[in-house]
Structure 1
Amino acid sequence: MNTARIVVLAIAVGAGGIAAFLVSGSDKPAAPAAQLPTVDVLVAKSDIGLGQSVKPEDLQWQTWPAATASNTFIRRGDRPDATTQIAGEIARAPFIAGEPIREQKLVKADGSGFMAAILPSGMRAVSTEISPETGAGGFILPNDRVDVILSKHEKNAGRAGAADTINSEIILSNIRVLAIDQAPKEKDGQTAVVGKTVTLELKPEQTEALARARQSGTLSLALRSIADVNIVESNSDDQVRRRGDSVNVVRYGVSTQTTIQK
Structure 2
Amino acid sequence: MKPARLAVLAIALLAGGGAALLISGDDQPAVQPAAVVPPPVVAMTDVLVAAAELPMGQNIQAPDLRWQPWPSEAVTTGYITRENAPKGMEEIVGSIARSSFLAGEPIRPQKLARSDGGFMAAILPTGMRAVAINIDTAGSNTAGGFILPNDHVDIIRTYRDEDSARGTTDTQLSETLLQDVRVLAIGQVVQEKNGNTVVTGQTATLALTPGQAETVTLAQKVGQLSLSLRSLVDSGRSADANVDGRPETALTVVRFGVAKQQSRR
- Distance in 2 separating the partners of 1:183 and 1:29: 63
- Distance in 2 separating the partners of 1:135 and 1:31: 65
1:199 aligns with 2:210: no
C-alpha displacement at 1:75, in angstroms? 0.2
- Which one-letter code corresponds to 2:28 in the other structure? G
Secondary structure of the structure 2 residue equivalent to 1:228: coil
**In structure 1, what is the equivalent of residue 133 of structure 2?**
128
Tell me, which stretches of 5 or more residues in structure 1 are unaligned? 1-5, 249-256, 258-262
Q: Check whether the contact 1:173–1:238 (CA below 8 A) recurs between aligned residues.
A: no
Tell me, which stretches of 5 or more residues in structure 2 are unaligned? 1-17, 253-258
**In structure 2, what is the equivalent of residue 140 of structure 1?**
147
CA 1:191–1:46: 2 relative to 1, 3 Å: farther
Deviations 1:114-137 (A, max 9, x none): 112232343221111112111122
Q: Check whether the contact 1:56–1:83 (CA below 8 A) recurs between aligned residues.
A: yes
C-alpha displacement at 1:212, in angstroms? 1.9
Deviations 1:142-179 (A, max 9, x none): 22221100122447949x765x4432211111112111
- Which one-letter code corresponds to 2:157 in the other structure? L
Secondary structure of the structure 1 residue equivalent to 2:180: strand
- Distance in 2 separating the partners of 1:107 and 1:234: 28
**In structure 1, what is the equivalent of residue 159 of structure 2?**
152
Query: Could you state the TM-score of these two structures normalised by the residue count of structure 1?
Result: 0.76
Identity %: 41
Secondary structure of the structure 2 residue equivalent to 1:206: helix
- Distance in 2 separating the partners of 1:11 and 1:72: 72
- Which one-letter code corresponds to 2:135 in the other structure? I
Aligned with 1:118 (options 123, 146, 151): 123
- Which one-letter code corresponds to 1:114 in the other structure? F
Q: Check whether the contact 1:38–1:66 (CA below 8 A) recurs between aligned residues.
A: yes
Point out the more displaced range, 225-234 or 192-201: 225-234
Runs of 4+ in 1 over 4 A off after TM superposition: 9-14, 155-158, 232-235, 240-244
**TM alignment of 1:3-152, pairs within 5 A:** 14=26, 17=28, 20-21=30-31, 24-25=32-33, 28-110=34-116, 112-131=117-136, 132-152=139-159
**In structure 2, what is the equivalent of residue 178 of structure 1?**
184
CA 1:234–1:200: 2 relative to 1, 3 Å: closer
RMSD: 3.2
- Distance in 2 separating the partners of 1:11 and 1:130: 100
Query: Could you state the TM-score of these two structures normalised by the residue count of structure 2?
Result: 0.75
C-alpha displacement at 1:29, in angstroms? 4.6
CA 1:43–1:241: 2 relative to 1, 3 Å: farther
Secondary structure of the structure 2 residue equivalent to 1:104: helix
Point out the more displaced range, 179-188 or 169-178: 179-188
Secondary structure of the structure 2 residue equivalent to 1:171: strand
